[in-house]
A and B are shown apart, each in its own frame.
Chain A
Amino acid sequence: MKGNMERLDLSQELARDILAMAQAKGASHGDVVMVEGDSFFVTVRLGEVEKISQAQEKRLGLRLFCGSSSASASTSDISQQAIQRLIDDTVIMARATAEDPFSGLPDASLLARDIPDRDLLDDAARSVSVDEKIAIALAAEKTAMDFDPRITNSEGADFSNQFGRVIYASSQGFSGEYQGSTFGHSVAPVASQDGAMQRDYWYSSNRKFARLDSAKSVGERAARRVLRRLGARKVKTCEVPVVFDPDMAASLLRNLSSALSGYSLYKGASFLNGQIGNKIASQVMTVWDDGTIPGALGSKPFDSEGLPITKKAVVENGELRSYLLDTYSGKKLNMASTGNASRSVGEPPGVAPTNFYLAPGPRTPGEIIASVKQGLYLTETIGFGVNLVTGDYSRGAAGIWIDNGELAFPVEEVTIAGNLKEMFQNIEMVGNDLEMRGRICAPTLKISQMTVAGD
């Protein structure tokens, strides 16, 4: 191998060296993000290992400013030679872009002073054996396959985990790093009846290996979910209440978080533009963004600009309290960053929620379903029919028809449609069943009326 290609170890010191080299080449300021990690996944199907994959990766991302113009670059080649080239190219690009008076790094006085331990890493990431991981996937699939004779096939079960390190340094004087791990497993059984097949799945993910749902519970849940879809049919086009199960309610929150992104807002590409302080949702809706929860999937000690992470109400009793902002989008809106800067190496800076969740309400899911005379219990959506500029919403849907307060028969090949502005106002009930299963979570919720299109 050639010597100048030799790979360097990632460190805060290397990050600071890169910034110093960049400043020597003419950059006025800049920041560096570096990530390295190990990843593993295994897929099993019908009792046999099907795919297994393992890797180690390193990436380096650099953003440089020449006054108020900037550019960014990234590389997986972390050698002296590649870093020199990266700096040269980035300075050339930064000089070629337009001056933007809003650009820049956060004020040094705002930077995180300490780096709290959010309990993001589980040492099991290094110690759990490949055979143990395979055994979990096999057990989840076997549980699902043995659950009912109508479960005849499987798309497979998987187990995956990652662990790694994030390093961030900026010319404002910030330098910090943290480590984290994630584990996940899922299974997708296929059931058939009268010549028609259905597939469904269930999953668990967590930063801690020991906190994953058991293979048995994931397998059983997946089996129940696929069985209840058998015999699904269309319904007549109608306007009815729609009850969103927790995962579907979380998808609505994902739409909300996108509409609250500072980048969508200042571009005029969000229907929530200028709505701070206004009632954008029903009284029963309170949404938190909290990146401080120990051990949670969306937690971190500082954001991608080195700003501290906080807990904040985004929507409180229906009133919009906060957008999701970084320094740039904040300046564009004449507001301060909310500590939601997010940057994957190689992508331009953006914002993302941390742990973003709908606060639970007083009702059980059963009570919510019982409150519906005729309506849809929504368990799946497909397609991308959400327009965040206008709020128009129309997606393919599957679920269970509610007849006189009871789950009656499975429904498929229908769409649900409305407008997010009205849908948020029409949230009539929120369930008590919040579980922090991902970064964006919600309990069961009921929207008083939507158009269900079918026959």
Chain B
Amino acid sequence: MAQEFVPAKSFFDRNFGIDSQDLDKVLATALARKADYADLYFEYRKNEGISLEEGLVKNCSQSTSNGVGVRVLSDAKTGYAFTDDITIENLEVAARTAQYIAQTQSSQVPVAVGQPQQAAHDLYPVKTTVTNVPLKNKISLLYDIDKFARSLDPRVKNVFVSLGSEDKVMLVASSQGWVIGDVQPLTRLNVTCIVEESGNRQVGSFGGGGRVEYEFFVGKREYERYAREAVRQAVLNLSARNAPAGTMDVVLGPGWPGILLHEAIGHGLEGDFNRKKTSAFSDRIGQRVGSELCTVVDDGTIPSRRGSINVDDEGTPTHRTTLIENGILKGYLQDRLNSGLMKMPLTGNGRRESYAHIPMPRMTNTFMLAGKDAPEDIIQSVKKGLYAVSFGGGQVDITNGKFVFSASEAYLIEDGQVTHPVKGATLIGNGPDVLTRVSMVGSDLKLDEGVGTCGKDGQSVPVGVGLPTIKIDGLTVGGTTH
């Protein structure tokens, strides 16, 4: 499979016979009436899924899709049409549909499409993508993981392993005359196990991945660590008590608990909500939204990460954007439409699930920078509270700022000591307020393992999060033990 920018262009050229003159013609149709901007987004995607359960690899599946979306922007309006049948005739029809939003005759002529540009980064120079590794190797890996997980503890009753990999080739051609493409591999390996002891069944899950080679999982037997973690978490939950209910100090462990930033802060700083002034963070740039210890960034340029991309789905190079610096709100995450309307810089956060979707401002890898505290000092400072180290999903109401996220591994802290595991704890708080309660930040920044998927307005995109150990003074814990 093609790996570089030029092949991304020639890929569509070769497979669909669409050349530069065709692109110019469609873009001219898209700008036939008054519009500010038009672009074409070509996408080819191949997904492969292999899964194991009950000791058997029962399912292998493969899915290929290709399509093109035509977009026209006129002030705050977006016209969009897409087709999965990439012909010049269908593109013309789509372009006429997309420019429905523009009302009057235009004198604007698109700039002729030039040579493809080189992407600003080369963040995932993968030689052989996981979809191209022989099927039998991948199947035997899944059997190895199953055997290994079952060998760890006799209480393991069932093991589920899934390996999902994707090759995505995208190309954006804009009415400003540039063309840019990218080839984006992505893989995720997950292990889930169910343990049982005297009728008590519990589940544990762990996984990882990124824009990586197959070697990432097998080289240092990373998959064994995933299996160990899944079994450990499930077994731990066998002895977990019900979570407490009420307001208490909460210590979040490093890594995946960064989902706090994603839900509580990140979504509220996406440009669309702030342009519309429907975010709890609207008009708050320059104001204090966190304690001085808090600096939060969104960085789409970290090599090989699940949330990283060379260019966003509008062709803008990704950046590192400071969202909060020493507690002060600094910036928003933008796509082309919202950056233009808000007269703010592009940040490389225009993303979409596929050619069937309109781009929106979305996060990439969102994390808090490390502080100075030793993690053990942070725990020791808590008299009575909760120590949460792993989470399931979270959600936020952008407008009132309320967010929740659910712990999958958590412990009570009593007199500065981590004591009993608890299960079923949901944390709830208020986005613009929660970081003001951060009273200690650890030196142990960690990024997550590479399993995050963010949903917004019905569109899913891969993301990353990260966090050092932090202490939040007074957060509501939603358990059952009162």
Contacts and interface: CB of A to CB of B under 8 A. Distances in A.
Say if A and B assemble together. yes
Interface of A: 1-2, 5, 7, 45, 48-59, 70-77, 82, 86, 89-90, 92-94, 96-98, 100, 103, 130, 153, 155, 190, 196-199, 229, 232, 234, 237-239, 267-269, 346-348, 382-385, 387, 389-390, 392-396, 398, 412-419, 451, 453-455
A418 B399 CA distance: 28
Given A77-B64, A98-B58, A382-B397, A451 B392 contact: no
A190 B478 contact: no
B476 A234 contact: yes
A81 B104 CA distance: 43
Given A237-B482, A415-B478, A453-B479, A96 B246 contact: no
B239 interface: no
Contacts of B396: 382
Contacts of B128: none
Nearest to B478: A415
A196 B399 CA distance: 9
Given A267-B158, A385-B478, A414 B59 contact: no
Nearest to A196: B400
Contacts of A392: 423-424
Interface stretch (B75-83, B177-185, B289-297): B75-83
B76 A48 contact: yes
B393 A383 contact: yes
A7 B245 contact: no
Contact of B84 (A76, A238, A415): A76
B428 A396 contact: yes
Given A383-B394, A392-B423, A198 B399 contact: yes
Contacts of A396: 395, 402-404, 426, 428, 478
Question: Which of A70, A76, A387, A419 counts the most chain B CB atoms within 10 A?
Answer: A76
Nearest to B279: A197
B476 A454 contact: yes
Contacts of A412: 400, 402
Contacts of B151: none
Contacts of A394: 243, 406, 424-426, 478-480
B80 A52 contact: yes
B358 A384 contact: no
A280 B276 CA distance: 47
Given A395-B404, A451-B479, A98 B56 contact: yes
Given A73-B63, A394-B424, A415-B428, A97 B246 contact: no
B462 to A, nearest CB: 18
Contacts of B430: 413
A268 B201 contact: yes
Interface of B: 15-17, 47, 49, 51, 53-54, 56-67, 76-85, 87-88, 97, 100-101, 135-136, 139, 157-158, 160, 194, 196, 201-203, 243, 245-247, 276-278, 280, 356, 358, 392-400, 402-406, 423-426, 428-430, 476-482
B65 A72 contact: no
Given A50-B78, A75-B63, A413 B194 contact: no
B426 A153 contact: no
A103 B196 CA distance: 27
A346 B63 contact: yes
Nearest to A100: B58
A348 B164 CA distance: 13
B83 A56 contact: yes
B424 to A, nearest CB: 4
A168 to B, nearest CB: 18
For the complex of A and B, 9 pairs with smallest distance between CB atoms: A415-B478, A396-B404, A383-B404, A199-B399, A453-B245, A384-B393, A385-B406, A392-B424, A98-B56
Contacts of B393: 383-384
B84 A90 contact: no
A84 B245 CA distance: 58
B356 A57 contact: yes
Contacts of B64: 74-77, 82, 86
A100 B100 CA distance: 53
Given A90-B62, A98-B56, A383-B405, A153 B277 contact: yes
Given A71-B61, A389-B201, 14 more contacts: A51-B80, A77-B84, A92-B135, A93-B60, A97-B57, A97-B59, A199-B398, A267-B158, A384-B395, A389-B194, A414-B428, A415-B404, A415-B426, A415-B476
